[in-house]
Amino acid sequence: MNEIDFIEHLRRKISRSRAVSVGIGDDAAVLAPLRRGRLVVSTDMLVENVDFRIKKDGQRKAPDDFLTPEQIGRKALAVNLSDMAAMGAKPLAFVLTIGKPTYISTKWLDRFYNGMMRFAKEYGVNCIGGDFSRAREFSVSVTILGVAEKPILRSGAKPGDWIGITGKLGGSIRRHHFDFTPRVKEGLLLSRHSLVRSMIDVSDGLFQDLQHILRASGVSAEVDLEAIPVSSDAIVLCHGDTVAALKRALTDGEDFELLLTVSSRQKAVLEPLWKRKFPSVGITWIGRIVKGRPEVQWFSKNKKIRIPNLSCVGYQHF
Amino acid sequence: MNEIDFIEHLRRKISRSRAVSVGIGDDAAVLAPLRRGRLVVSTDMLVENVDFRIKKDGQRKAPDDFLTPEQIGRKALAVNLSDMAAMGAKPLAFVLTIGKPTYISTKWLDRFYNGMMRFAKEYGVNCIGGDFSRAREFSVSVTILGVAEKPILRSGAKPGDWIGITGKLGGSIRRHHFDFTPRVKEGLLLSRHSLVRSMIDVSDGLFQDLQHILRASGVSAEVDLEAIPVSSDAIVLCHGDTVAALKRALTDGEDFELLLTVSSRQKAVLEPLWKRKFPSVGITWIGRIVKGRPEVQWFSKNKKIRIPNLSCVGYQHF
């Protein structure tokens, strides 16, 4: 199957929507005019042997970090959807580029697309274009486009804000990193009702991502270590050692939960609304934004404590 | 330099514009609302050892296909600008992902960005986001966003149309493939005045790209082989053998000229306007669109001839 045939094959898989005027097959795609809101754009890249491993022919036993083609396709889109969630944006469409080594078969690639397109359908988002290249290792870059009436930035945190986190943190390497649910619906609710001041998705670990908010907003934070919601996966990975599990919750990447700050007034409106809309996704309040240098002050049992510098523990891209 | 420092370093290099509300540094970028027109989106990927080679430390002599970091940065953006040109779109902004192997230094990457950003400035287009990953080989994917009042598609060709090509074709491997000028201004003129019916940029070779128009439009074409504008690079590469040079003009990829079809009426308006606006860029009329199956009928000295199937000669992505 050559490239033209393969693109034609893909094209048939992909559902069209009113958001797209011209999809795959021309020099570029064309979006329908946005009725309202602003265009939000994000891009993420996944690379073999960095973000996942691919089982090759002849390899007998699959280690835990071998992902199926469907899982890789799903994840490549999911990390981008999570960025839309963090902006409070509704995802519309995406393009992708693929580096394809010779050991990747058309059948493998087809399964990859099935995983991606099935997930795209769930989120009502369309593939509108792409590019392929030969490569020595498999890689996929997705650029996603969404629309937000009022995008939520990292820079909106104000002293007095409550710091909240959805879901639980840590231990994503066990399975969460490929089967997580991007918090798109949650992000949209928060954006539509102006329920948050600042937001980010936790991709590099809470320790790093909270600092991104603090730096962008020029504020400090007081965080209660005991309040951090630690996932059962983190505890299992640490064989029940709660201190080690807490460290994982602070530094493991790829939680893809939403970290947000809200005023007291917003918090009062948000809490009942959230419980009604998302009864199975908790929000935990882990601390407050305060005036000061953009760094986290950690508290344990109401006492300020020093914790080791974990900057180098969180995920580093290179 | 870690990723955060490097992104901060980049951010300072990048000029902001009114088209961009939020640039690099948040979970996603936000565009300012479009005053009019539609959003046009395209993506292209370049991979080391496929699209270019990088000189490594210790390699003494640079073969012709070693590109400098600046040239690679320029080219990664230029191929995407050419897609905007082919749609008659004004480029607004782009995002990029980079796969970075260990042998690529921060200094090399900095030169790559300099080449890219200098070129971006020439075209008034802004980098609004990106992602990095470790990788075994260098790769760069760019997704470009533009705006077009009336995007020009491949599917608009009608029987009776004249087939035109800008510039000259063939031999791009000598230097054109990295120093070409994307025909953005030309594409905008053609789009604004509704001067063309269909258009594509020649990236896979005239032979293949004309077929893309024919298939999308459901028409046939009669092309005069003697009319094909052959570049001097193609002639030099073929040591003066004009038949071999013509074959190159038909099949070499990466010309990045515009291939377009116009009605007789459009042609009459276009010709004087074009000569005034772009005196140094020729348009050559190489044939006509006719009814029939989507394949090219070749003519030489007014006689229909059969030429060998060149489908497999043009550029194949995998």
Q: What are the mean pLDDT values of chain A's consecutive 10-residue runs (318 residues total)?
A: 65 72 85 85 95 80 78 97 96 95 94 95 93 95 94 96 96 90 96 92 94 97 96 93 92 94 96 95 97 95 81 48
For an interface test with A, give the residue of B41, B137, B210 to mutate (most A CBs within 10 A): B41
pLDDT value, residue B234: 94
The three-state secondary structure class of A112 is helix
Query: Which range in A309-313, B2-6, B310-314 is most confidently predicted, on average pLDDT?
Result: B2-6
- Nearest C-alpha in A relative to B155: A26
CB B119 within 8 A of CB B73: yes
Band (pLDDT 50/70/90 cuts) for residue B91 is very high
Determine the Cα–Cα distance for residues B318 and B304; give it in Å rounded to an integer.
Answer: 33
Reply yes or no on whether the pLDDT at B312 is more than 50.
no
Complex-level ipTM: 0.90
Residues B152-165: tens digit of each pLDDT: 999 999 999 999 99
b/e map of B83-116 (b: 16 or more CB within 10 Å)? Answer: bbbbbbbbbbbbbbbbbbeeebeeebbbbbbebb
- Indicate the pLDDT class of residue B120, thresholds 50, 70 and 90: very high
Residue A99 forms contact with B (CB below 8 Å) = yes
The mean pLDDT value for B134-152 works out to 95
Substitution target from B53, B126, B143 for chain A, most A beta carbons within 10 A: B143
- Where are any strands of DSSP class E within chain B? 20-22, 29-31, 38-47, 90-100, 126-134, 139-148, 162-166, 198-201, 220-224, 258-262, 283-290, 296-300, 303-305
Interface probe with B: pick from A8, A35, A43, A215, most Cβ of B within 10 Å: A43
Please tell me if residue A200 touches chain B, with a CB cutoff of 8 Å. Answer: yes
Indicate if the pLDDT at residue B240 is higher than 80.
Answer: yes
Interface size A-B, in CB pairs within 8 Å, comes to 217
What integer pLDDT is reported at residue B19 of this predicted model?
77
Does the pLDDT of residue B230 top 50, yes or no? yes
pLDDT the model gives residue A115? 96
Looking at residue B4, what is its pLDDT?
61
Given CB atoms, is B49 within the 8 Å cutoff of chain A? yes
Domain A154-305: give its CATH superfamily.
PurM-like C-terminal domain (3.90.650.10)
> Where do the structural domains in chain B lie, given as residue ranges?
3-148, 154-305
For B47-89, how does the pLDDT look when each residue is reduced to its tens digit (9 = 90+)? Answer: 999 998 888 877 766 666 688 999 999 999 999 999 999 999 9
Average pLDDT, chain B: 90
- DSSP-assigned states of every residue in B40-79: EEEEEEEEBTTTBB-PPTT--S--TTBPPHHHHHHHHHHH
pLDDT in tens, B182-220: 999 999 999 988 899 999 999 999 999 999 999 999 999
pLDDT value at B238 more than 70: yes
Main-chain dihedrals φ then ψ at residue B314, nearest 5 degrees:
-60, 170
B3-148: CATH, from 3.30.465.10, 3.30.1330.10, 3.10.310.10, 1.20.1250.20: 3.30.1330.10
> According to the model, what pLDDT value does residue A6 have?
66
B244: Cα separation from own chain's centroid: 24
pLDDT in tens, B6-25: 667 767 767 667 778 888 88
Determine contact: B98 vs chain A, CB below 8 A: yes
